[in-house]
Amino acid sequence: MKFLVCGKGGSGKSTISVLMARAFQRMGKRVLLVDADESNLGLHRLAGSPSAETLLETMGGKAGLQARKQAVFPSPACPAFYETAFTWEDIPERCVPAADGIRLLKIGKIKTFGEGCACPMGGVLRPFLDHFQTGPDDCMIVDMAAGVEHFGRSVDAHGDRIIGIIDPSFESFKLARILRKLSAGAGTPIAFVLNKADARMREAIGRFIDPALIWAELREHDDLFLAGLEGRPIVFEAAEIDELCRRLESADVAS
């Protein structure tokens, strides 16, 4: 199972990604949490994981990736994620530190002024998703970059389901409608999660998307707010997200 968590910046993508990872872990899944947002600096903190080398860095950074694409024979020191099928065990160990049994992988980060765009991160993520072979008990949760640029790169065609996060804002409501259209173009089914949900939000979002696409509503929790504010690991268990993950597993088995 490969779940791509999408939404606008600040919608709660990272928080819900970690909650989903914990929920699937409690269900007995082997979980890989992927940080695919080049500007996100806090996912590893919320997951309780040490910071680690990014996948792009193991490939020699942007320069190394470009040289690799131009090489006739790929270097044996750098797995050819964009060329051949691979499994969990093929990911360099130094890239996937454990956080209470969950593995966290960072694709790449913008670290210096003037280093260029984030396109190489997308260039690594798309084939990574395409060639990663999941076992029956494997679950990958990808915290995608904010917005919709990754749809333009055709990344989202390589997930099993998109999870759209909607916070209580008009901008997020409009983006939900766009996500629905883009997911259809990608051929990837979508389900939505209302974050900080209440009755007013539920009524308002109905004008933008089909309520049947809303698979979970996460109300506001002080514990989650404080973890995000202070950069602490999320140890909170949300029954709403547990139920979402059980439904996702059932849908995956049925398909």
Q: What one-letter code names the amino acid at 97?
A: P
Residue 118, in any domain of the structure: no
φ, ψ of residue 175 to 5 degrees: the values are -65, -35
Identify whether 121 is part of a domain.
no
189: domain CATH number is 3.40.50.300
- What are 205-219's pLDDT values in tens digits? 999 999 999 999 999
- Give the residue numbers spanning the domain of 109: 2-53+96-113+132-254
Name the strand (E) or helix (H) holding 252: helix 239-254
- What number of other Cβ atoms are within 10 A of residue 114's Cβ? 4
186, HSE (Cβ side, Cα atoms, 13 Å)? 26
> In this structure, is residue 75 part of a structural domain?
no
* Domains in the chain, number: 1
Identify whether 90 is part of a domain. Answer: no
Q: What is the pLDDT of residue 100?
A: 76
Q: In this structure, are residues 29 and 138 in contact, taking their beta carbons and an 8 Å threshold?
A: yes
Determine the 3-state secondary structure of 90 from DSSP: helix
Question: Looking at residue 116, what is its pLDDT?
Answer: 58
Degrees, nearest 5: CA angle 177-128-30: 90
Mean pLDDT by 10 residues, the chain (255 residues): 94 94 93 86 81 76 55 44 75 78 80 63 82 90 91 90 96 95 96 94 92 94 84 86 93 65
Residue 81 lies in a domain: no
Helix (H) or strand (E) holding 6: strand 2-6
Phi and psi based region of residue 138 (left: phi greater than 0; alpha: psi -120 to 50; beta: remaining): beta
Contact 236, 49 (CB under 8 A): no
pLDDT at 123 (0 to 100):
74
Residue partners of 130: CB distance under 8 A and separation at least 6: 158
Residue 88, domain member (yes or no): no
Task: Give the span between the Cα atoms of 25 and 27, in whole angstroms.
Answer: 5
pLDDT computed for residue 61 by the predictor: 62
Q: What is the predicted pLDDT for the residue at 81?
A: 57
Residues 6+ apart with CB under 8 A from 9: 146, 147
CB 206 within 8 A of CB 184: no
Each residue's pLDDT tens digit, 21-41 = 999 999 999 999 998 887 777
Residue 127 inside a domain? The answer is: no
Query: In this structure, is residue 39 part of a structural domain?
Result: yes
At 22, the amino acid letter reads R
